């Protein structure tokens, strides 16, 4: 097990100044990922990212890079998403931590999977602070211990997790279809009663 801070740079997303700094601007030069854009399973769930026009210059290292991991620092959601879009002008706000892995012995998808896992959830649950809105400190994220199996095993774990999630989604869709079929039969039976 290795502390995440030894494997990556962990920093807070960009702080935008001004009341309308994150207001949607058609044709804006940057795109913004918001917390609502992420599923609990760590997927980007929006077709179009929020276009913005920052009122100030943004440092180059603040733009997301493929392989960066996004992790909300507010609330109780334990979602972690690997950024994999080719767009070079995407930002996240201060409600996210960005985890930028050092090249080497860990896959971004594996770290994201682990951050969504039950052991990580328990770890974060005792470290979040606040009554109305719970917050997580950068140091808490940097100190979480990440297991480091071989890259091949990391890849296998991520693949198995993806298959498990696909199975869960298919089971949910099947249950919905069964419900619709049963409701249709019940309505048909009620309309043809004597």
As a whole-number percent, the residues of the chain with pLDDT over 70 amount to: 97
Cα angle: 94, vertex 8, 123; to 5 degrees: 70
| CA–CA gap between residue 7 and residue 64 (Å, rounded) | 18
Determine the pLDDT at residue 161.
85
Span between the terminal Cα atoms of the chain, in Å: 69
| CA–CA gap between residue 133 and residue 113 (Å, rounded) | 24
| CA–CA gap between residue 189 and residue 194 (Å, rounded) | 10
Confidence category of residue 21, pLDDT binned at 50, 70, 90: low
In the chain, beta strands by DSSP E? 2-3, 8-12, 30-33, 50-52, 69-72, 81-82, 90-92, 96-101, 145-146
- Reported as a single tens digit per residue, the pLDDT across 34-68 is 888 888 888 888 878 888 888 788 888 889 999 99
| CA–CA gap between residue 11 and residue 99 (Å, rounded) | 7
Determine the pLDDT at residue 17.
75
Is the pLDDT at 3 greater than 60? The verdict is yes
3-state secondary structure of 61: helix
Confidence category of residue 1, pLDDT binned at 50, 70, 90: confident
pTM over 0.85: no
Pick the CATH number of 2-148 from 3.90.220.20, 3.20.20.70, 1.10.443.10, 3.50.30.30: 3.90.220.20
The structural domains of the chain, with segments of one domain joined by +, span: 2-148, 149-194
């Amino acid at each position: 097990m290795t502390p995440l801070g030894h494997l990556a740079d962990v920093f807070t997303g960009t702080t935008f100044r001004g009341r309308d700094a994150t207001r949607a601007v058609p044709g804006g030069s940057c795109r913004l990922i918001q917390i609502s854009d992420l599923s609990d399973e760590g997927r980007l769930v929006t077709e179009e990212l929020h276009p913005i026009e920052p009122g100030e210059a943004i440092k180059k290292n603040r733009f997301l890079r493929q392989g960066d991991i996004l992790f909300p620092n507010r609330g109780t959601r334990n979602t972690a998403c690997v950024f994999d879009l080719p767009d070079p002008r995407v930002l996240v706000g201060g409600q996210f931590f960005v985890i930028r892995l050092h090249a080497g012995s860990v896959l971004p998808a594996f770290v994201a999977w682990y951050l969504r896992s039950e052991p990580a959830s328990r770890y974060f649950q005792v470290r979040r602070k606040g009554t109305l809105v719970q917050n997580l400190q950068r140091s808490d994220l940097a100190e979480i211990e990440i297991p480091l199996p071989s890259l091949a095993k990391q890849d296998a774990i991520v693949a198995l997790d993806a298959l498990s999630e696909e199975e869960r989604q298919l089971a949910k869709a099947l249950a919905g279809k069964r419900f619709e079929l049963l409701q249709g039969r019940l309505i048909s039976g009620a309309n043809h009663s004597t």
